[in-house]
Amino acid sequence: MVAGDSLEPSRKPLNALTKQLNTYVAIVLKNGIEYRGTMVRCDSHMNLLLEKATERVNDRLSANYGSILLRGNNILYIGVDIPHEK
């Protein structure tokens, strides 16, 4: 840890994620299902709230949701700076 760095190393990914609030993201769960939408909330467990969310299975649109809560321990990875769906 660098002198003067007040963040714990384990907290830096969460801080980077909270900087992406109100942006369009892609979330892939451990079961392979992908959700895309605007991330409006994120907590310390990386539970995420998406608005205007879509669900994709095998890269095909399977459902549209107004809002959806994704539990952090089910998330495999989060993609940011992705192109917005039309």
Task: For residue 6, tell me if it sits in a domain.
Answer: no
Of residues 53 and 17, more confidence is placed in 53
Q: 74 in a domain, yes or no?
A: yes
Q: Which residue has the tokens 């879509």?
A: 54
Number of domains in the chain: 1
Give the domain extent around 16: 11-79
47: domain CATH number? 2.30.30.100
The SS3 assignment for 9 reads: helix
For residue 23, tell me if it sits in a domain. Answer: yes
3 belongs to a structural domain: no
Q: pLDDT tens for residues 58-72?
A: 989 999 999 999 999
In a domain, 44, yes or no: yes
Q: Are 78 and 27 in contact (CB under 8 A)?
A: yes
Residue 18 maps to a domain? yes
**pLDDT digit string, tens, across residues 6-21:** 555 556 788 888 899 9
Q: Within a domain: residue 85?
A: no
